[in-house]
Amino acid sequence: MIREAKPSDKLHILKFCKNTFSWGDYIKDVWDYWLSEGNLFVIEKNIPIGICHAVFSVNQVWVEGIRINPDYRRQGLASKLIKKVESLAIQKQIPISFMLIDVQNMISLLMAQNLDYKIHQTWHFYSLLPQKNTHNKISFGNIIQENEFSHYVKSWRWLPLDKEILFSLDSKNFIVYSSKKGQRAIAILEDSEHFEKTLIVTLFAGSKSNTMNILFFLQNYGLEKNYGRIQILTKESLPKFRKLEHKILFHLMQKLLS
Ligand SMILES: CC(C)(COP(=O)(O)OP(=O)(O)OC[C@H]1O[C@@H](n2cnc3c(N)ncnc32)[C@H](O)[C@@H]1OP(=O)(O)O)[C@@H](O)C(=O)NCCC(=O)NCCS
């Protein structure tokens, strides 16, 4: 019943992945990319009726895009898909599974809790529009200590922020910070792999003035680099700021495998 997805599944899947959430759904934008990445799983009963995508890293598996056709819900199908991914992770000796769930998505949270996932962290999603600012005092470079932060966000995946990744982000000038009076705020910049003109920022906010400096910089950077929108993911609540809008609060759910 569960197998790797193939190109011909797309039509069946997109039919029921249109109005999943109040704002629609993003599966149509990522399907081809996920298919090419592999580990896109389909559950079928004559026709494909559910999906789930997995990204295996050395120390974690990231589970995303869990969708079940509304006509087939509450039959344990999503749980089956997730357990399949978990069993693959266990075979690969991966110790932890993560997924991201909107705090208002009660059904998903109940499903995750039913599968022994626990709330690991809670993250805010803000949207910021580019605009010209004169004020903008930041520096480029890596001032993040090893193991200081567990994850950063790349294309809406919370990935381990290890030494290698830090080195690579730094070499691309993707780490910026503002540092004043012994305090600091740090941002990691990443292009969205799925959405055009979208900058994705993991923000480790600090004092209000450092955080504001970063926000001013992001607006300028967004304008200079011709981004249409900036998506900010942060564990902290951000100060009021022009063209900054709070969108959604998410729980990062974690399950220890084995
Ligand atoms: C969330 C979703 C994937 C669940 O799929 P599903 O196949 O119906 O889930 P399961 O049958 O495996 O349910 C597992 C558990 O979740 C909980 N659950 C599922 N649907 C529920 C509902 N409508 N009300 C309350 N609890 C529910 C229950 O604890 C259930 O276990 P139980 O049936 O033994 O009580 C499905 O509702 C869906 O596609 N929703 C829209 C997309 C979405 O929110 N995806 C997740 C994003 S993180």
Amino acid 54 reads: A
- Our CA dihedral for 113, 114, 117, 119, rounded to 10 degrees, sits at 0
Q: Which pLDDT does position 146 carry in this prediction?
A: 81
Amino acid 136 reads: N
**Which helix or strand (DSSP H or E) is residue 45 part of?**
strand 40-45
Ligand 1 in contact with 128 (CB < 6 A)? Answer: no
Ligand 1 in contact with 255 (CB < 6 A)? Answer: no
Euclidean distance between CA atoms 70 and 115, whole angstroms? 20
Mutating to test ligand 1, I would choose from 49, 104, 107, 116 the residue with most ligand atoms within 8 A of its C-beta, which is 107
pLDDT by residue (tens digit) across 201-221?
A: 999 998 999 999 999 999 999
Residue 220 · residue 132 · CB < 8 Å: yes
Whole-number percent of the chain with pLDDT over 90: 89
What is the three-class DSSP state of 238?
coil
- What is the rounded average pLDDT of the residues 170-187? 93
How many residues in the chain? 258
Q: Which of the four pLDDT bands, split at 50, 70 and 90, describes residue 147? A: confident
- What is the rounded average pLDDT of the residues 144-156? 91
Checking if the pLDDT of 238 tops 80, the result is yes
- What is the rounded average pLDDT of the residues 77-97? 98
Cα(108) to centroid(ligand 1), Å: 6
Ligand 1 in contact with 78 (CB < 6 A)? Answer: yes
**Which helix or strand (DSSP H or E) is residue 88 part of?**
helix 77-91
pLDDT by residue (tens digit) across 38-81?
A: 999 999 999 999 999 999 999 999 999 999 999 999 999 999 99
Cα(73) to centroid(ligand 1), Å: 7
φ, ψ at 239 (rounded to 5°): -70, 160
Euclidean distance between CA atoms 202 and 187, whole angstroms? 6
227 burial level (CB within 10 Å; 0-12, 13-18, 19+) = buried
Structure tokens at 4: 């790797």
Cα(202) to centroid(ligand 1), Å: 29
Q: Which pLDDT does position 247 carry in this prediction?
A: 96
Ligand 1 in contact with 68 (CB < 6 A)? Answer: yes
Q: Which of the four pLDDT bands, split at 50, 70 and 90, describes residue 3? A: very high
Please provide the average confidence, as pLDDT, over all residues in the chain: 95
Q: In 3D, which of 97, 33, 63 has the Cα closest to residue 257?
A: 97
